[in-house]
Amino acid sequence: MSTSTSPSSIARPWLLDFTLLAAIWGASFLFMRNGAIEFGALPTAGLRVLIASVFLLPILAARGQTADLRRHWKPVFLVGLTNSAIPFVCYSYALLSITTGLSSILNATVPLFGAIIAWLWLKDRPHGTRILGLAVGFLGVAMLAWDKASFKPDASGVSTGWAVLACLLATFCYGISASFTKRYLGGIPSMVLATGSQVGAAMGLAPLVWWFWPAQPVSLHAWLAVIALGVICTGIAYVLYFRLIERAGPARALTVTFAVPVFAVLYGVVLLGETVTPWMIGCGLIILVGTALSAGLLRLGRT
């Protein structure tokens, strides 16, 4: 009997993780929206990171890495503010007035902002194809924002402009945390970063959660949404993400950003009855192409 392993069987484990992670993170926009409607943006974000912390801390202890967290808790907690606390608040706020599909497409700009901030802060200057990718990506964002962002309330009193800006602020914060991590947190185990950042975010948001806690009773539906956010979309998702990096490498793991909008748009259409316009799809494709070029995942010629 042959013991050789085919290439397809080797690839299957990371492809499964990749698809599952994209599906989970795509669902996070749906859960954030359902939670924020009743809890509000700040309590939704705060509960998400608190629940994720409670889920991840036992895993960290089982791996024997709590001592690492104690040694590096200050910078790890700090990165939790830009990597979780602020972005989660921004998205929870944005989803009160824009669709899950639009917010997930804007989320795909994370590598664009990451490249710009790494250029300015770490002097990691992009060249050739990557510069073209930045230009293409931000063109797609500008086209999408021009069509969807309005600071004048519509007939229902909704102003989408601030929501779009909140999504872009979230992606900007992700870019900052990536460069901060690369510069100051190199060598720290990934699970320590994942768990410590959620604990730091929970501590930072705790006073605001208490202050803005809803006066009215919250339904079981909303509670289940934030529990799913914390356990599945944050805790389990982090474990899958770092396992994906180990199995497939960081370059392939990064491409999960491109698949997330596919699932988010699908959930929004099927479960929420959201409308996806050809303009949104076209701008989303431009953003994804620009992001792939700027991240070095697509190359033109020898640049």
Question: What pLDDT is attached to residue 158?
Answer: 58
pTM value is 0.85
In the numeric block, the tokens 């990557």 are attached to 130
pLDDT given at position 79: 92
pLDDT at 110 (0 to 100): 83
Give the distance between the most distant pair of CA atoms in the chain. Answer: 70
Q: Give the per-residue pLDDT at 260.
A: 85
The Cα–Cα gap between 59 and 155 comes to 48
CA angle centred on 175, ends 90 and 302, rounded to 5°:
140
pLDDT of residue 5: 45
Query: How far is the C-alpha of 73 from the C-alpha of 148, rounded, in Å?
Result: 40
Q: Give pLDDT < 50 ranges for the chain.
A: 1-11, 303
Neighbours of 54 (CB within 10 A): 15
- Cβ-Cβ contacts under 8 Å for 38 (sequence gap 6 or more): 214, 216, 218, 219, 221, 222
For residue 285, CA distances in Å to 109, 207, 232, 267, 301 come to 11, 40, 28, 18, 21
Which of 199, 207, 185 shows the shortest CA–CA distance to 80?
199
Q: What pLDDT sits at residue 258?
A: 77
pLDDT, tens digit, 9 for 90 and up, residues 229-245: 999 999 999 888 877 77
